[in-house]
A and B are shown apart, each in its own frame.
Chain A
Amino acid sequence: MTILAVETTTAYVQLYVDGDWLPVCDDPTRITPGRGVAVLLPDGGQAAVFQDRTGRWYAIDNHDPFTGAAVLSRGLMGSSDGSAFVASPLLKQRFDLTTGRCLDDEEVSVRAYAVRVAA
């Protein structure tokens, strides 16, 4: 992994994509806890990145498999039994943010990404 020599005070939100940590946001404070943002991936795909109230980070595919629209980042986040989920803003199905599994339909899941905040 190569990190460009920038000010060391800058913490990046990074996604593990294709065997590498991809920096996606240089200012984690811009992401409201409990909400998400969309990220454009190098292959033209999209991810949805969230932060919960304790500062833990999550990322899943931004595409809502039920409608085809790239909107999961705009859903409402919540937690149930200690695990975080997002409810799609379109038809409200919930997806576990750690695994990407749909909580309302066993047959459906979306890809989940590893996330970290690092300099």
Chain B
Amino acid sequence: MSTATPRTIVLVGHGMVGQRFLEALAEHGVAGRDRVVVLCEEPRPAYDRVQLTSYFAGRTPEELSLSDAEFLDKYGIELHLGDPAETIDRERGVVTARSGLTVAYDTLVLATGSYPFVPPVPGKDAAGCFVYRTIEDLLAIEEYAKNATTGAVVGGGLLGLEAAGALKGLGLSTHIVEFAPRLMPVQVDEGGGAALHRTITGMGLTVHTGTGTQEIVTGEDGSVTAMRLSDGSELATDMVVFSAGVRPRDQLARDCGLAVGERGGITVDERCRTADPKVFAIGECALAADGRVYGLVAPGYEMAQVAAAAIADQENGNGFTGADMSTKLKLLGVDVASFGDAHGTAEGSLDVVYADSRSGTYKKLVVGAGGELLGGVLVGDAESYGMLRPLTGSVPPISPEQLVLPAGAGAPVALGPTALPDEAVICSCHNVTKGAIRGAVTEHSCTSVPEVKKCTKAGTGCGSCVKVLGQLVTAELEAGGVEVDKGLCGCFAQTRQELYEIVLALRLTSYRELLDAHGRAEARGGDGCEICKPTIGSIIASLAPTLGADGYVLDGEQAALQDTNDHFLANLQKNGSYSIVPRIPGGEITPEKLIVIGEVARDFGLYTKITGGQRIDMFGARVEQLPLIWAKLVDAGFESGHAYGKSLRTVKSCVGSTWCRYGVQDSVRMAIDLELRYRGLRSPHKLKSAVSGCARECAEAQSKDFGVIATSNGWNLYVGGNGGATPRHADLLAQDLDDDGLIRLIDRFLMFYIRTADRLERTSTWLERIEGGLDHVRDVVVEDSLGICADLEALMTAHVSGYRDEWASTLDDPERLARFVSFVNAPEVPDPTVRFVPERNQIKPELPLLNLTTRPLEGTATR
């Protein structure tokens, strides 16, 4: 380090690249030593602009944030929110911000990003016109859309399509107006554009290509009513979102006499330095040494690293001389990707094209004279993107024809990522090579994808590389001899999914037969264990009607398999007493039934509480009281609520269109229908659901395993949500379904989950683990890519028709009732250790002799 006295480094712009620059400064030990001042125009610190649109899928601004107070504090970074730089005095070395704040700098870094280009058409500033760049833009769009029914997006590029997807998601009938003759003109060629056009039209969006926007027509109140198009026609619309490209924000630089390019962008050298050695420019506002302005985040990150290294006086590394422009469309449910020299501009390059207009698939690879892969376009099926992109620049190990053929159509065994060279860039957002990922496993002892993500940052940008990342991590672990025994437990070497297939294929209804024939050699003939017994019990119960087994989970040998709660059809509490949760479908209950619950609780002296699942829990029943209590409840029309089972818990509802002024569908009816349909369904872990009557989402459907949100056209289905210790927002699986379509899709989804999930794996973790993730699940359950949907539906139909209430069945049978005794030799004596003391006018357990030793960490997904 050459400088001894602390310098002042001023960063203008706290966007994605600015934040990355700060992190790089910290890595170099500059932040913390030197004074770092950040002028940030937006009212919030840096956030993930790339994932901006996921706001409409439920991600909150907080979740999108890239910066935290802890980081800033740790390095003493001074961040001024909502205070943009206004002038730069290079002679004196001073920046002045809007508030009047002046800061003298030794080094100035401009990371001001871009502004959305709005074509200069009359009416462009009318109320109802928006751009799509910041969280504030999205909030404004969302607010305005509440009173709109139609929206139009100007620009059919990558961002335009994202914006269009967002408008559609907000329930608007949506138009896309693109001046070029095809969609995504920069990324895809004509053939790809045509395939894309068909797919997007098929999704219900209206596409106008080869059409310019001439004027925004406004009504009497000055707000948008229509757009006049270049063909003379008028398109009625309530709002317009401009997404016609971006321009570098270089005004500050222009004003202080720094050089800018002909088409904008602050001119910098390979170190991202301007002609003034004290001033740097990075990210989208910079015109890089290769003469290009990059509108993607990965090149910006690279510039941030280069500039930070230069400021840390480490100029020996690589400079920034250009970057890859690969892109993949993230939302809208269309697979589009382009990478490398997608248009075949290189001298002597040739194309290999596969097109199938029936399925909307178009794939083109550009191959150089020497057979090396130069780039490509994938529309409709971008599965191979993760593999092909890193292969760019090398001669692929199999012929290009085979690379574009769809699986099953003569394509050979899929090319695995193990075939890639170490230099291949796997994550282009963070520029992480295959070698670095392998290093994370071999040198930094990472043993899982989340660990590798944390260690290398790979996969934390656009997410398109996560699949390949997972394959590489597994391959590397296996190569390192970390023989991950994927067996269920000490008794079975198979996974839960394999056992499911065995049980189904052989129609096995006996755990012992399964253990003796398929268990590990040392476990055969034994008693199994507490892991495999409930797992097999659950598999047999899920498939009972299909296997010809008794649907009653406590029948014969099955009784020995069930977890203790299932065995007593109630939830065991800390003092050995039980809780009772009757089913209250959708949370709807009559006053008469409420009164029955009140009477039962009063008569048996039970502690009563409203649960988090819109129903009522009664605690403190002794085992011999369970049948007596249930006799009263069954009599009044109640059924088991399966609060004890790895099975459907509740389907929460909001009050919906029947009462609520905003409701667009009858969410209560749908919640009740769903709860009654899936009640009693045994699954790898518990299942929760909710139905909301409109986008306000009062039922919190997006935190559920399967959540339903009403739209004006039907229902949107979200899957894989989770509360608990590791909350996860659900992903949108399909939109605007009618009642039948919704139920059919849930049938398939649940049965596919039951078939393929691990033991105690909620849908959220399953969705993240399963190869191909959401896309794969969507292929299977929406597109029927495996041809198993009919089977899945049949399994669910069998479950639904085979359902009987477990408590009613138990009460009907004296033998079954005999189990509910305190002591086998003194059935009439209540367990003396189960005692209660009063609290707040109810009871609570009096804990006997609590000679407690240390407890294991409780809770998370093990019970």
**Judging by beta carbons under 8 Å apart, are A74 and B568 in contact?**
yes
**Judging by beta carbons under 8 Å apart, are B824 and A70 in contact?**
no
**Judging by beta carbons under 8 Å apart, are B527 and A75 in contact?**
no
Return A3 CB to nearest CB of chain B, in Å: 16
Return B831 CB to nearest CB of chain A, in Å: 6
Cβ-defined partner of B526 (8 Å) among A49, A79, A90: A79
Cβ-defined partner of B572 (8 Å) among A80, A90, A94: A90
Complex: A53 Cα to B852 Cα, angstroms: 33
**Judging by beta carbons under 8 Å apart, are A66 and B823 in contact?**
no
With both beta carbons as reference points, the residue of chain A lying nearest to B565 in the complex is identified as: A89
**Judging by beta carbons under 8 Å apart, are A33 and B848 in contact?**
no
Complex: A71 Cα to B565 Cα, angstroms: 12
Complex: A66 Cα to B557 Cα, angstroms: 29
Complex: A46 Cα to B824 Cα, angstroms: 11
Return A33 CB to nearest CB of chain B, in Å: 6
B563 within 8 A of A: yes
Q: With contacts defined as CB atoms under 8 Å apart, how many contacts are there between chain A and chain B in the complex?
A: 123
Residues of A within 8 A of B790 (CB): none
**Judging by beta carbons under 8 Å apart, are A34 and B856 in contact?**
no
Complex interface residues of chain A between 59 and 107 (CB less than 8 A to chain B):
63, 65-71, 74-82, 84, 87, 89-92, 94, 105, 107
Return B556 CB to nearest CB of chain A, in Å: 9
Q: Which segment, of B163-171, B529-537, B719-727, faces chain A?
A: B529-537
Q: A65-B853, A66-B853, A80-B490 are in contact. Are A38 and B822 (CB under 8 A)?
A: yes
Residues of A within 8 A of B572 (CB): 71, 74, 89-90
**Judging by beta carbons under 8 Å apart, are A75 and B564 in contact?**
yes
Cβ-defined partner of A71 (8 Å) among B523, B530, B576, B862: B576
Complex interface residues of chain A between 3 and 44 (CB less than 8 A to chain B):
23-25, 30-35, 37-40, 44
Return A15 CB to nearest CB of chain B, in Å: 9
Return A102 CB to nearest CB of chain B, in Å: 10
Cβ-defined partner of A84 (8 Å) among B527, B567, B826: B527
B851 within 8 A of A: yes
Residues of B within 8 A of A32 (CB): 559-560
User: Size class of A's contact patch?
Assistant: 35 or more
With both beta carbons as reference points, the residue of chain A lying nearest to B575 in the complex is identified as: A69
A114 within 8 A of B: no
A108 within 8 A of B: yes
**Judging by beta carbons under 8 Å apart, are B855 and A91 in contact?**
yes
Cβ-defined partner of B856 (8 Å) among A39, A91, A107: A91
Residues of B within 8 A of A81 (CB): 522
Q: A40-B829, A68-B852, A105-B853 are in contact. Are A94 and B822 (CB under 8 A)?
A: no
**Judging by beta carbons under 8 Å apart, are A78 and B528 in contact?**
yes
Complex interface residues of chain B between 569 and 620 (CB less than 8 A to chain A):
572, 574-576
Residues of A within 8 A of B574 (CB): 67, 69, 90
Complex: A90 Cα to B833 Cα, angstroms: 15
Residues of B within 8 A of A94 (CB): 530
Complex: A63 Cα to B557 Cα, angstroms: 26
Complex: A69 Cα to B832 Cα, angstroms: 11
Return B472 CB to nearest CB of chain A, in Å: 35
**Judging by beta carbons under 8 Å apart, are B560 and A33 in contact?**
yes
Complex: A108 Cα to B522 Cα, angstroms: 27
Cβ-defined partner of B825 (8 Å) among A40, A67, A82, A108: A40
**Judging by beta carbons under 8 Å apart, are B530 and A87 in contact?**
yes
B858 within 8 A of A: yes
Cβ-defined partner of A35 (8 Å) among B560, B831, B852, B862: B560
Complex: A74 Cα to B623 Cα, angstroms: 11
Complex interface residues of chain B between 488 and 521 (CB less than 8 A to chain A):
490-491, 512
Return B575 CB to nearest CB of chain A, in Å: 5
Complex: A44 Cα to B822 Cα, angstroms: 13
Q: Pick the most buried of A25, A46, A78, A80: most chain B CB atoms within 10 A of its CB.
A: A78
Residues of A within 8 A of B823 (CB): 37-40, 46
**Judging by beta carbons under 8 Å apart, are B847 and A68 in contact?**
yes
Q: A44-B832, A68-B849 are in contact. Are A25 and B825 (CB under 8 A)?
A: yes
Return B820 CB to nearest CB of chain A, in Å: 11
**Judging by beta carbons under 8 Å apart, are B848 and A35 in contact?**
no
Return B854 CB to nearest CB of chain A, in Å: 9
Interface residues in B, total, Cβ within 8 A: 48
Complex: A49 Cα to B823 Cα, angstroms: 11
Residues of B within 8 A of A89 (CB): 563-565, 572
Residues 820-863 of B, flagged 1 when their CB comes within 8 A of A and 0 if not, give 00111110010111100000000000011111110110100011
Residues of A within 8 A of B858 (CB): 91
Complex: A71 Cα to B848 Cα, angstroms: 12
**Judging by beta carbons under 8 Å apart, are B824 and A30 in contact?**
yes
**Judging by beta carbons under 8 Å apart, are B853 and A49 in contact?**
no
Residues of B within 8 A of A74 (CB): 564, 567-568, 572
With both beta carbons as reference points, the residue of chain B lying nearest to A31 in the complex is identified as: B824
With both beta carbons as reference points, the residue of chain A lying nearest to B559 in the complex is identified as: A32
Complex: A72 Cα to B530 Cα, angstroms: 13
Complex: A67 Cα to B851 Cα, angstroms: 7
**Judging by beta carbons under 8 Å apart, are B825 and A70 in contact?**
no
**Judging by beta carbons under 8 Å apart, are A68 and B851 in contact?**
yes
Residues of A within 8 A of B523 (CB): 79
Residues of A within 8 A of B533 (CB): 34, 76, 78
**Judging by beta carbons under 8 Å apart, are A37 and B527 in contact?**
no
Return B844 CB to nearest CB of chain A, in Å: 14
Complex: A1 Cα to B597 Cα, angstroms: 51
Complex interface residues of chain B between 124 and 183 (CB less than 8 A to chain A):
none
Residues of A within 8 A of B529 (CB): 76, 78-80, 87
Residues of B within 8 A of A80 (CB): 490, 526, 529
B482 within 8 A of A: no
**Judging by beta carbons under 8 Å apart, are A69 and B576 in contact?**
yes
Complex: A89 Cα to B852 Cα, angstroms: 16
With both beta carbons as reference points, the residue of chain A lying nearest to B862 in the complex is identified as: A92
- Using a CB–CB distance below 8 Å, which chain A residues touch chain B? 23-25, 30-35, 37-40, 44, 46, 49, 52-53, 63, 65-71, 74-82, 84, 87, 89-92, 94, 105, 107-108
- Pull 19 A–B residue pairs with CB atoms less than 8 Å apart, ordered by A: A24-B824, A30-B818, A37-B824, A39-B825, A53-B527, A63-B833, A67-B574, A67-B852, A70-B576, A71-B572, A71-B576, A74-B572, A76-B529, A78-B526, A79-B529, A87-B530, A89-B564, A91-B855, A92-B862
- Using a CB–CB distance below 8 Å, which chain B residues touch chain A? 490-491, 512, 522-523, 526-530, 533-534, 557, 559-561, 563-565, 567-568, 572, 574-576, 818, 822-826, 829, 831-834, 847-853, 855-856, 858, 862-863
7 cross-chain pairs, A with B, having the tightest CB-CB distances, nearest first? A34-B560, A78-B529, A89-B564, A79-B527, A87-B530, A79-B526, A37-B824
Known: A78-B526, A78-B530. 20 other contacts (CB 8 A): A31-B824, A32-B560, A34-B527, A38-B822, A38-B824, A40-B826, A40-B829, A65-B853, A68-B849, A68-B850, A69-B575, A70-B848, A75-B530, A76-B563, A79-B527, A82-B526, A89-B563, A89-B564, A91-B855, A91-B858
